[in-house]
Every structure is written in structure tokens, then in C-alpha cells.
Amino acid sequence: MPSTAVVLRATDTHGTVELSSEGELEIDIQASDADVKKWLGANAPWGSVWKILPPSGVPDHLLPATSSDAVFDAQELCCSTLRWHNGELLVIDPTTNQVFIRKWDY
């Protein structure tokens, strides 16, 4: 994370149930305009191309409120029989320079 970025919110519910690795991770970051432009000028981490919101299959309650300019990349981490049971989502909103990281394991 760049030194100029500020973590606005971070929650992690993994392991809140005894001996469970299930849960959700949510991190909201305020980034600089320069960092956001740099990230959007590079390939998306998992699909190489940034996509327009909303992503299909990602749990609705994990989608952050963003401007219409926000883009995302997502990665499914589970099996074909449990679509989007586990996954990762990265959203970048160039209007607000906010970055949203989501990871879930159910």
C-alpha cells in the first residue's frame, strides 16, 4: 500500500466462529489521484482488464457504494459446483479515489 494511502475501514470476520476459517474481509482505502491513475493504467490483477460494475455473482452485501465510474476485477476461489462461494473483489473508484478490497470464504 502506498505511504500516502489511508485505511478508512477494515473488518475481518474470519475465525469468529470457533475453529472456523469462514468469514469476510473488507478494507476501504483512500488513495491519491496519482496512485489511482497508476493502478488503472496497469492490468487488473486477475483478469488483465478492468470491468464496469456491478460484478455478477459477487454477494450483493459486499459491493461498496461507488460512483458510476468505478471499475472492478474479481476472482472466484472455489469450485464449479459452488459458484462464487469463495472469492476476491477489488473495486477502484476514480471519482472519489477510493479502493475497496473484499474477500469472502463461506
Q: Name the pTM for this structure.
A: 0.89
- The pLDDT assigned to 23 comes to 87
Domain segments of the chain as ranges: 6-105
Q: How many of the other CB atoms lie within 10 Å of CB of 71?
A: 18
Separation between Cα atoms, residue 102 and residue 84, nearest integer Å: 13
pLDDT for 53 beyond 80: yes
Please provide the average confidence, as pLDDT, over all residues in the chain: 89
pLDDT for 102 beyond 90: yes
Separation between Cα atoms, residue 21 and residue 45, nearest integer Å: 24
Report H helices in 4-92.
Answer: 33-40
pLDDT for 1 beyond 90: no
